[in-house]
Structure 1
């Protein structure tokens, strides 16, 4: 059985940022556990063409800037390379291929059990996973009858398998737009949304939006309640909107039901469809905390305030959307939240 001062579950951006800041908050031995074969979190599993909507200068973690031109928008593979270099850069014991199945508090200590039976203990635990493990697909009338290909964006990699087909991308966020834009070059593609897509200019007055967010303080403002009510929006410097138009991708109101051959649109028009890609987000999930008392009974969501568990001691969360601010789930924001969570957990019983 391994013992540490701090155990972090997850070696993605949130977990690595937490591990990097552990020593300055008094944790001398940090253990990071991750189910994947290498650090990087969910990034290696995203679609091939994914490009960040934040420039490199705003995409680094604490202590290591993102390399290259600071004004460029890094690709998925660049982010993966950066995170793996970051894992080598920090002083933490990172154990990959370690799937935690249970985390339970016994007195002053957390006991973690892995899928292979290994056990780990620590007085303090930070859960830095949960964002991209449970893809959500809305329940649609006739969904069980659809005979075409139906997949979540989590399973989408590239447009080539859909060449020459009729494809609908469901969703109005950044991923939906990026996927639809590239699909339009090889397939007859539409975006279906419940509300019109909300476009936000990427570089107002010649400066990237993230520069303005930092300069105005909105990037770190505790405005969670307001943001949760905002509609889904898409950041764009013009290229994705242009690509949709150039590739003939139209935007439509969400279809009302599925059929064995395709969809029925809001005007009752039936249309055959080969494939539907659901860019409809993910449900936050922490299966290893089931039975720990840290999750609510209705939706198994974390009970916390700013990332500090409110029902069990010695537990924090990092990397959740709007956890403390607009940027909490981003590369540029997880470091701030990790520092906040660790500073408070370090004051508790050790």
Structure 2
């Protein structure tokens, strides 16, 4: 079976596949199986403590109550991939998935290779497909306009006038970081909603875990906490309340040198950073005609149009935590059960037990053998 994507979702899928007796091959476009984490902004810090941020089978090293930074997550994923003893093909991008006559799929890569498998796990996440809304006058704006996916550090914005668009964690974290170097306004469509990072001396994720709230569906969660919310120790709320970080209702259009606010006032702005989320990065599934306006047709990660096609890492795929380090492992086990059920039946010939099409070794390859870490 083929797993497309070598980040947290792909690695969780690989472990679940291995545990289910399948032989996964992971295709990853990057240089190492650490997903999009190396490309996030430098100061990115997890909002969940290390003890609640691990993939199945390997806790984070060090203090379990600390909040790991971006580079710690990259190092963790690197170690996790090494521990799995599976085949990971880096610098290999899936460009098209086709159904194979008789069942299964063929995946074509950007190196013109073709791989066949009984199933496909679409685990490419969404970082490669940032959502940038189109506003009036946007094409005429002459300043620096980018999505937060292309933001790295604040020093490039020294003494500049910056507007950050969005009301979620990334928007608030980046806007607050920029206030030390730039004049910043956070532009949102409604007031920012905050959730306390700590309750009764324990991190919120402790309570999510012990109450089972981490496993709630989207419908239940949004009734409880609303839509976009920001986890906060009080620092961000205080910054907005005090005026250290200005917040205004979203501007209505761009001007060549800035923006026009909802009250009609024009302001010159050097840079606009959109922290407006992402959409699933699934163009390689286009030949299957399984996408509906770019979104997969699935229930709980299992395709409703193509048997043997599953998804991982979708927002609210099954629960509140589905697209997080702490939650994707549960979803991986769920979808892998569906793929394992499609495994070709064992047949017996002259006393040799074989899997139809691919004999499977009963033990992993020896270290240093020509197969290396390869399991398919």
Inter-partner Cα distance in structure 1 for 2:251 and 2:220: 29
Residues 255-270 of structure 1 correspond to what in structure 2 (within 5 A)? Answer: 255-270=251-266
Alpha-carbon distance, 1:246 to partner: 7.5
Is residue 2:177 matched to residue 1:163? no
Inter-partner Cα distance in structure 1 for 2:64 and 2:117: 38
Aligned to 1:151, what secondary structure does the other structure show? strand
Alpha-carbon distance, 1:8 to partner: 0.6
Q: Which residue in the other structure is 1:63 paired with? A: 57
Inter-partner Cα distance in structure 2 for 1:75 and 1:31: 29
Q: Which residue in the other structure is 1:272 paired with? A: 268
Q: Which residue in the other structure is 1:289 paired with? A: 285
Aligned to 2:106, what secondary structure does the other structure show? strand
Is residue 2:108 matched to residue 1:113? yes
For the Cα contact (< 8 Å) 2:41–2:149, is it kept in 1? yes
Alpha-carbon distance, 1:217 to partner: 1.1
What per-residue deviation string (whole Å, max 9, x for no partner) do you get for residues 172-198 of structure 1? 100011101110000000100001100
Inter-partner Cα distance in structure 1 for 2:343 and 2:181: 58
**TM-score with structure 2 length normalisation?**
0.88
Q: Note the aligned Cα RMSD (angstroms).
A: 1.5
Aligned to 2:163, what secondary structure does the other structure show? strand
Q: Give the one of 45, 49, 58 matched to 2:39.
A: 45
Aligned to 1:313, what secondary structure does the other structure show? coil
Aligned to 2:295, what secondary structure does the other structure show? coil
Alpha-carbon distance, 1:170 to partner: 0.3
For the Cα contact (< 8 Å) 2:118–2:342, is it kept in 1? no
What per-residue deviation string (whole Å, max 9, x for no partner) do you get for residues 286-311 of structure 1? 11110213223xx0311111001111
Classify 1:160/1:199 alpha carbon distance in 2 versus 1 (closer, same or farther; 3 Å). same
Inter-partner Cα distance in structure 2 for 1:155 and 1:247: 27
* Larger gyration radius, structure 1 or structure 2: 2
Matched pairs, number: 341
Q: Which residue in the other structure is 1:84 paired with? A: 78
Aligned to 1:225, what secondary structure does the other structure show? helix
Q: Give the one of 137, 144, 148 matched to 2:143.
A: 148
Alpha-carbon distance, 1:205 to partner: 1.2
Between 9-18 and 138-147, report the one with greater CA deviation.
Answer: 138-147
For the Cα contact (< 8 Å) 1:302–1:309, is it kept in 2? yes
Q: Which residue in the other structure is 1:174 paired with? A: 169
Classify 1:133/1:248 alpha carbon distance in 2 versus 1 (closer, same or farther; 3 Å). same
Inter-partner Cα distance in structure 1 for 2:50 and 2:290: 35
5+ unaligned residues in a row in structure 2: which ranges?
Answer: 345-376
Alpha-carbon distance, 1:91 to partner: 2.1
Alpha-carbon distance, 1:226 to partner: 4.1
Is residue 2:309 matched to residue 1:315? yes
Aligned to 1:340, what secondary structure does the other structure show? helix
Is residue 2:322 matched to residue 1:328? yes
**TM-score with structure 1 length normalisation?**
0.94
What per-residue deviation string (whole Å, max 9, x for no partner) do you get for residues 47-76 of structure 1? 000000000000110110011100010000
Aligned to 2:12, what secondary structure does the other structure show? helix
Residues 134-145 of structure 1 correspond to what in structure 2 (within 5 A)? Answer: 134-145=129-140
Aligned to 2:213, what secondary structure does the other structure show? coil
Q: Give the one of 239, 246, 258 matched to 1:250.
A: 246
